[in-house]
Structure 1
């Protein structure tokens, strides 16, 4: 469960691997030989009513051939390089073991992170030591497996100064592993997680927001629906492409201010993972994932240089965050009844502040897949642990010098994800009502809608299309503040709240990101399965409860 700061990863029965956060050569990887892990897993398998607090992760594979019949050689990448900066950035090397079977077209490159020269800033093109064992077998159409991050269907291969340069597309979990049983019962030491920036993450930003394709706010969807029925509150109008300015009768269009350009890493390569947080520039917006003792969060804001100012802080309070997984794979298929669940999220909170100097013409929309992920390689296994974020926001501020502020917190009781093949959702309770906090100044009705996705995953693959079991939480928020001109009668305020949970095994990638990948990789043949989210809360309220505010 979550222990922030300088902690330790435990393997099996009490083995301790100390972390030294300021020394990259000794940080961040949970290490241990795979055979020993399997033996300890057999001894410490969960019994009814008993939770294993230490790491228990194993690949129990039913055949004796590795990589289409290649004999096993023990675990590659069990050496010091696994705990280096390279391992934190690129992941650990694949496991080759008599008990492990990969799909026949998987090409294993040995050497783990030591074999990686560099990766491109979009995480798709990998330069590999041409002398590494297996490198000469990399061909278009094959599945390259060099490290847990350098996994994908090969789209293009070049030889440069003796090295192999391979461009990778997405690959499903079962396109890598033919027979496996991934079991995990692990407390997450958030202090061990590092931040990995992917400066040119495909599909990271769309402006205006493509809310209908992903992460999308229910507030925006309800807004468009209710606006069509003539509802007056802006929270119900945010989904429209325009909002009405106060008094003038004119319509101001919600606009994006020019193309989004994100800074690229020096030399166009993937920057090293780091222990301190990273702020991503997203055009006129910026986003910063963060972790602190007992919390994970995402801050995003609109830069103050323009007339619009927006700040949103979304946070999850946690207590002993825990991941539980039981995913059997047989014959390249995930067996029925798989489990991947995240436990220990105790509450979700949001703080919103927005202001517009010029009213309607300052309004903005954005949808973003944050190009900063939290990651931790799991040495002795072929996997990495990954946390990723998405958000969308749309403002509808209706007059000059308008401001809107609000904040709320809600308790969550129960796991998120998938248990025995079924989605599980938490129960929600109100800790701090957002309705009581809505305030601001405006001559017109104003509001803001936002959504945030928090996804936890264990697996392999390029950053844009990580593959493996996952669980995600999506929260949508919308607030409305009535016009000050109506204050002599009454000031109407409104809010919407929606929560959904998703889970599964495979590649969880948005339609926007997939479209970007297809543009970058025209030869790619990959179909994303339709994902459905399970709602666990939908609340909408307007105060005061009088006809004027409901008309």
Structure 2
């Protein structure tokens, strides 16, 4: 694809994207602060050339970090940058933009607007940015994070937004408004505390990290009500990492997070003429610990979470309530060298308070509920949806059933199941709903721009997994009670 063809394509879209992003408020100005100041906090630190690090040939290092950024949408997908910033004119769809440690991605679309460029990016693996380099650091303290919260996620919508030209002629034929162009500007990050977010009808308050990583969630659709808290407990965690890349391939990777970990869940659920549902989504807030430049590359340690809830209520009326807490492991991590993985989980599972003994409720039919909590630790580059680097993710699943109070011949059935699974590697992974919406956006662009960019993938890089713990318990121990839904 030639540069002139790319520029012709984005000129066609310029008017449309200008109107759409003007409505979404994407024109907020950067503060122009010095490196290490407000701009670095909001947009990430700038990369620097280092004799020991080689970037891939299609990486375009833009400007002076956050001072070249005017604003970014709250999902981190569209960056408004100074069109006169160093190397900005060299950006074209298909290349990799590297403006800050949070502003890294494969360019999907560029549209000029006044003195700025609106650059929409997709995910890249860290080996698509770094060709050669070694990065390591010990004892990264995980306290006082920078909190980056997003708004209502765009992928929670079933369909893209309706066509709109806002009273202007933007092309020969009306364009269906690209769903990715209608997001608000990211609010300024804050230090410490937590974040309130919304997604798929859930209100979520997430927090990190001194006493653990957790999420308190609420859902009420008028017929189903859910309230709960899931937590990976810890005591003053810290991290150590090492990453070696040569000729665009990972030769060695290590990540270990220490802090004495446990898991904890509390929930209340009820149904009254509602419908069962199943939801899974990333919680729209990152907790980031800037590490600074390591061999010229601005790295961060980032903690992110996902939440999944599946109801299996066997009647139109009933309630269930419970809580439990368990110790899990002293440390979490893995090692990789020359094609072989070695999980590092100092397993020590013990019950601190019983989940099965806590189950209560008034079920007219069987009440089943599964809650899934994902916690991912990433050392690397990029923001929110597209974090890439070394990662370790713990996936915790709680399943519980409470039998009908009307149908129990001898005693009411109670059952719980707990599954803890680890996924780790070097690269990135994205939930399928996000992938579908972004690829829909690309399909909308193609007939207008004549640019063919391959669909993004849900994951990239090297990875492995390990079952850390799984167990189930039923009271009474009878075939009539079945097994809990994990």
Equivalent-residue separation in structure 1 for 2:474 and 2:362 (angstroms): 18
CA contact (8 A) 1:296 1:316 kept: yes
CA distance in 2, matches of 1:136, 1:161: 14
Question: 2:128 — aligned with what?
Answer: 175
- The higher relative CO (CA closer than 8 Å, separation ≥ 6) is in 1
1:288 aligns to 2:220 (yes or no): no
Q: Does the residue aligned with 1:444 lie in a helix, a strand or coil?
A: coil
**1:344 to 1:312, Cα distance in 2 relative to 1, 3 A:** same
Matched, 1:310 2:226: yes
Alignment check: 8 A CA contact 2:97 2:105 kept: yes
Alpha-carbon displacement from aligned partner over 1:431-460 (angstroms, at most 9, x marks no partner) = 222111111111211121111100011111
Quote the residue 2:79 is aligned against: 126
**Larger proportion of strand:** 2
Q: What aligned pairs does 1:233-272 form with structure 2 within 5 A after superposition?
A: 268-272=184-188
2:45 is equivalent to residue 106 of structure 1: no
Q: Distance in 1 between matches of 2:403 and 2:476?
A: 11
Residue 543 (structure 1) aligns with? 475
* Contact 1:106–1:142 under 8 Å retained in 2: yes
Equivalent residue number for residue 249 of structure 1: none
Counterpart selection for 1:498 from 411, 419, 423: 419
Equivalent-residue separation in structure 2 for 1:501 and 1:488 (angstroms): 40
Give the secondary-structure state (helix, strand or coil) at the position aligned to 1:491.
coil
Residues in 2 aligned to 1:539 and 1:342: alpha-carbon distance in whole angstroms: 25
Show the counterpart of 2:306. Answer: 390
Asked whether the equivalents of residues 150 and 197 of structure 2 are also in contact (C-alpha less than 8 Å), the reply is no
Which residue does the alignment assign to 1:88? Answer: 41
Residue 384 of structure 2: which of 456, 460, 463 is its match? 463
Alignment of 1:5-404 (within 5 A): 80-84=34-38, 86-191=39-144, 193-199=145-151, 201=153, 203=155, 268-275=184-191, 276-291=193-208, 293-303=210-220, 306-335=222-251, 337-358=252-273, 361-381=274-294, 382-404=298-320
Aligned residues: 411
Please list the CA deviations of residues 104-138 of structure 1 after superposition, one character each: whole Å capped at 9, or x if unmatched: 11111121111110112332111111222222222
Question: How far 1:399 sits from its partner (Å)?
Answer: 3.7
Structure 1 residue 342: Cα displacement: 1.8
Q: Secondary structure at the match of 1:278?
A: strand
Q: Compute the TM-score of the two structures, normalised by the length of structure 1.
A: 0.70
Return the offset for 1:545. 1.7
| Corresponding residue of 1:244 | none
What 5-or-longer segments of structure 1 have no aligned partner?
1-78, 208-263
**How far 1:97 sits from its partner (Å)?**
2.5
**TM superposition shift of 1:267:** 7.4
Q: Residues 256-286 of structure 1, C-alpha deviation per residue, up to 9 Å, x if partnerless?
A: xxxxxxxx99972122112342211224211
RMSD over aligned CA atoms reads: 2.5
Instruction: Tell me if the contact between 1:122 and 1:200 (Cα under 8 Å) persists in the aligned partners.
Output: no
d(CA) in 1 for partners of 2:441, 2:208: 32
Deviation at residue 532 of structure 1 after TM alignment: 4.8
